[in-house]
Structure 1
């Protein structure tokens, strides 16, 4: 059994219930296909604490979330497609806040998969 977590964007969560990420996981779509028919356990579906105008006041909270992910002994963290934003030319780039989270978790030995759908 693989222990999985999904990280998504706070701004997007204002209008997204996460159903696409969950469907992709349970149906073993695209980025989850790598697990074949192996059982997946969703151990966390968490949200970044935001950036720009959507920044949550309690930034200590993101530290707690990151430390919790490290303690969960995850097999993989999937970062949702919503964590990529388009620039002026329409090219998608990983959000800098999410990128910093990903780098810290990768340094802690957690495998990160870019994408959920």
Structure 2
């Protein structure tokens, strides 16, 4: 589903569509698979419910797992979708998935618990 792209991201292709919830979501099964395959560190019991951080165009956002979201689909709240160049959804789009350490950094920035500069290895910066 995702392949290595850069030092901070994986690249995948998902159908991006408007979602019903307040947060972006992929199918619960795929969310757990991605957590296990790409975020697990191999040290004991892993949490499979950690939010993923994805990027569409210039916008980062946390992604949870949800029942009812089809496989290979990213359901995005309309307010977030409006900040992207996605037109006529559902649309197959390239989506960046932040690697585990980058995701933690972006989530901490969004929570206001860490200050980092705005350099990034992918154009568009770390704004979440």
When normalised by structure 2's length, the TM-score is 0.28
TM-score, L = length of structure 1: 0.30
| Structure ranking higher in helix proportion | 1
